[in-house]
Chains A and B, each alone.
Chain A
Amino acid sequence: GENVEQHPSTLSVQEGDSAVIKCTYSDSASNYFPWYKQELGKGPQLIIDIRSNVGEKKDQRIAVTLNKTAKHFSLHITETQPEDSAVYFCAANSGYSTLTFGKGTMLLVSP
C-alpha cells in the first residue's frame, strides 16, 4: 500500500519568512496530493491540492510542487503570518477513495 513520509516534524520561522514542508510517497499510481491545515482542537482543513498532470499550483501565499519522477511533493508558504501556525498534513490517494497521510508538521510562526 501507499506510504507517505513527511518532514520536518516541526518548523519554526519568523513572521515574513518562507516555510517549506516536504513529502515523499511510494505508490507510483497515486495521482492526487492534498494538503491539510489542522488547528488545535479542529478538523483538518483542505488548503490546496495538486493532481499528477500538473507540476505546480499556486493560491495566493501558498504553492505546491510535484515531482512524479522522484515521487515527492512540497508545500511552500511565503510571507508567513502568526495565523499560519498550525499542524500541516500532506496526503496521497490510494485508489479512488482512500487518503494516506503523513505524520504532520507543526509550523510555528513567531511575530
Chain B
Amino acid sequence: NAGVMQNPRHLVRRRGQEARLRCSPMKGHSHVYWYRQLPEEGLKFMVYLQKENIIDESGMPKERFSAEFPKEGPSILRIQQVVRGDSAAYFCASSPSAGGPGYFHEQYFGPGTRLTVT
C-alpha cells in the first residue's frame, strides 16, 4: 500500500527560476493538502485541493505561488521566480474524502520536497 509520494525529494533553484513540486496521494485518496515547513518551525497550511478544484487557498502567498490537481496525474505546487525566502521543506498530505460538520479526516504526509534557492 503505497503512501503519499512526492518528487523531487531535493530541488535546487537559482533566484528567479521556477520550481515545480509534485505529489501523488495515497491510493484511494482524492484530497490533497500542501504545507510548508521553515527551519525549526511547525508546518503551515498552504492550500487544499480536490481533483480539478481548489477548495481552500487561504495559506497561499498571493503572488508567485499556484497549485493544481488535474483530473489525471499528480498535484503540482508551482513557485515562479523563486527567492531565497522560498527555501523550505514542502509537504503534501492526503485524505480519503472531505471532512464535514463535526468530523475531520486524518491527513497522511509524504516525505517532502526540500527546496533550496541559491
Asked whether, in the complex, the Cβ of B110 is within 8 Å of the Cβ of A43, the reply is yes
Check if A104 sits within 8 Å of B109, measured CB to CB. Answer: no
User: By the criterion of a CB under 8 Å from any partner CB, how many residues of chain A are at the interface?
Assistant: 26
Asked if B45 contacts A100 (CB within 8 A), the reply is yes
Question: How many B residues, CB 8 Å from partner?
Answer: 30
Chain A residue with minimal CB distance to B31?
Answer: A97
Contact (Cβ within 8 A) A97 B33: yes
Report yes or no: A99 in contact with B107, Cβ–Cβ below 8 A.
Answer: yes
- Closest chain-B Cβ to A45's Cβ sits at a distance in Å of 7
Chain A min CB distance to B39 (Å): 11
Q: Is the CB of A98 within 8 A of B48?
A: yes
Within 8 A of A (CB), among B40-98: 40-45, 48, 55-56, 58-59, 91, 98
Chain A residues engaging chain B, CB cutoff 8 angstroms: 4, 6, 31-32, 34, 36, 42-46, 49, 51, 89, 91, 93-94, 96-104
